[in-house]
Every structure is written in structure tokens, then in C-alpha cells.
Amino acid sequence: MKIIEILDNLENENITIDEAVDEILKTEHEEVIQRKKAKFIKVKVIDGENGKKVNIPPIPLGLVSGLTSFGLLLGAKFSEDEDLKKINRKDLKKVFDELKKHPPFKLVDVLDESDGTVVEIYTK
């Protein structure tokens, strides 16, 4: 039973509040089990002018997180850009950890209408 149906039953007094809570908790538990969590990040680019595809294989989110953190550390050490030094690597790790908790979805979906170039970044 979907949550909206449970709430409708509660509103129509077909079930009690305790029964509604039990049903909602059961429904949420079933939904969590059924969801597939993201494990990879995928980048796909299609050049609109000549139709060339740049298809980067899926990269594990853990690896992307580690490489990004390492890259920021090196960049901050050797760069004079103060903004780069302000980025907190722990916060960036939290972003990647959150991406792992959710089902796959598109992060970026860009279509350049002038030449047909497509850029997609999504979790998988």
C-alpha cells in the first residue's frame, strides 16, 4: 500500500493512527529494500558537430571521492588560488557519501541546441 493510500484511509477513519504508522513504516522498509543504490559515476559526451562519442567507463564513487580529495590536496599545495584552499575535503567526501545512499539519477544533463552537443553525468 502506498503512503498516500494509507493517509487517505486514516483521513476516512478506516484505520487508526497506530495502524497507519505501522503501515507507513512497513512501506518505507519495503521501498528501501527495493531501491538499488548508486555505486558508480558515469560521464557521457556526444559532440554534436561530428557525432563523436566520448564514453568514459563507470568509475566507482569511492574512487572518485578519493581522487577528488587527493587532487584538491595537491591543487591547494601547488596553486596560488585561495578559493581552492577554502574547499573542505571532508565536506566533499560527505557529498559523495550522500550520492551512494540514493538510487541512480542524473546529476547533469546538458544539450547545446546550437550544435547538438550532449553532456550527461549520472550515477549508476
Question: Could you list the pLDDT tens digit for every one of the 124 residues in the chain?
Answer: 577 788 888 888 889 888 888 888 887 666 555 568 899 999 999 998 888 999 899 999 999 999 999 999 898 889 888 888 888 888 988 999 888 988 888 999 999 999 999 999 999 9
Half-sphere exposure of 100 (CA within 13 A, CB side): 14
Which residue type does 67 have?
Answer: L
The C-alpha angle with vertex 43 and arms to 37 and 45, in degrees rounded to 5, equals: 145
pTM for the whole structure: 0.63
Q: Which helix (H) or strand (E) holds 87?
A: none
For the chain, the domains span 3-34, 40-123
